[in-house]
């Protein structure tokens, strides 16, 4: 069964949508199920000022995207890179073992968005 926090983020996802002219975008697919997640980040002075996601996937993937977006907003890029799927799942009050793979999408999409930003801004340390 899903925790109340999972159900809250699934039914009321935070930061859903897209950022026009985002600083960085990451799109990843889940090898296990084929679901897809896209994350846009807006970066100012090395800080993630805004983050939006679009997830074409299951409820656990939507809840983890929502929670992960809240966890990286306002963080520095280096802090955001440390976010793990386990930390997101823990913040959600846990996920059923068979749904843990869904939480990988958020971790990978955030990393891909940051790498996209870094590739576009090689002058950044």
Q: Which two tokens stand for residue 83?
A: 């976010």
Residue positions annotated with a catalytic role? 33, 102
Kindly state the smallest distance separating residue 64's Cβ from ligand FES, in Å.
Answer: 8
Candidate segments 20-28, 30-38, 76-84, 106-114, binder of ligand FES by CB under 6 A = 30-38
Size of the site for ligand FES (CB under 6 A): 9
Q: Which of residues 47-106 bind ligand FES (CB under 6 A)?
A: 57-58, 60-61, 102, 105
Would you say 52 or 99 has its CB closer to ligand FES? 99
Task: Check: CB of residue 24 under 8 Å from CB of residue 66.
Answer: no
Q: Which two tokens stand for residue 72?
A: 């990286």
Single out the residue of 10, 23, 26, 35 in contact with ligand FES (rule: CB under 6 A): 35
**Distance (Å, whole) CA 102 – CA 93:** 15
Bridge partners, 54 (sequence order): 38
Helix ranges (H only) for the chain are: 4-11, 59-72, 77-81, 85-91, 104-120
Residue 36 found at the interface with ligand FES (CB under 6 A): no
Task: Check: CB of residue 24 under 8 Å from CB of residue 61.
Answer: no
Q: Which residues bind ligand FES (CB under 6 A)?
A: 30, 33, 35, 57-58, 60-61, 102, 105
């Amino acid at each position: 069964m899903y925790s109340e926090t999972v159900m809250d983020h699934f039914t009321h996802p935070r930061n859903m949508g897209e950022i026009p002219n985002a600083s960085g975008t990451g799109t990843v697919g889940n090898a296990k199920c084929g679901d897809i997640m896209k994350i846009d980040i807006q970066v100012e002075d090395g800080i993630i000022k805004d983050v939006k996601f679009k997830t074409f996937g299951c409820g656990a993937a939507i809840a983890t995207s929502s929670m992960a977006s809240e966890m990286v907003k306002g963080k520095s890029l280096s802090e955001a890179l440390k976010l793990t799927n386990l930390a997101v799942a823990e913040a959600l009050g846990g996920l059923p073992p068979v749904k843990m793979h869904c939480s990988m999408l958020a971790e990978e999409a955030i990393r891909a968005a940051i790498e996209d930003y870094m590739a576009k801004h090689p002058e950044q340390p």
